[in-house]
Amino acid sequence: MKARGAAMIGLLALALVSCGGGKPPAKVDAQTEKEQALERARHDAFGTQVQALDKAKAMQDDMNKKAQAGLDKADEASK
């Protein structure tokens, strides 16, 4: 009985080792995966939320540019 159990454990271990012997998983760049996931999200169920987030970020960038231009203009006027 013990020999049979040991043989089964050995076969199980051999099977587990042989299953993992295939090709290694592909290396994934985290930044690339993040960009691809965001692009998929734009077209999935959360598309409107992601698009709204994109618009908000663009609006923030625009406001920052305008604020910086105003500061630059004020600096020039004060000289």
Q: Could you list the pLDDT tens digit for every one of the 79 residues in the chain?
A: 567 777 777 767 766 656 655 566 677 788 999 889 888 888 887 788 888 888 999 999 999 999 999 999 999 998 7
Element (H, E) at 21: none
DSSP-assigned states of every residue in 49-61: HHHHHHHHHHHHH
Residue 22 lies in a domain: no
Of 25, 27, 9, the residue nearest 17 (C-alpha):
9
**What's the structural domain count of the chain?**
1
Residue 12 lies in a domain: no
Pinpoint the alpha helices (H) of 20-46: 30-43
Predicted TM-score (pTM) of this structure: 0.47
C-beta of residue 16 within 8 angstroms of C-beta of residue 8: no
Residue 1 tokens read as 């009985």
Residue 7 lies in a domain: no
Per the structure, the complete domain to which residue 52 belongs is given by: 30-79
Residues listed for the chain = 79
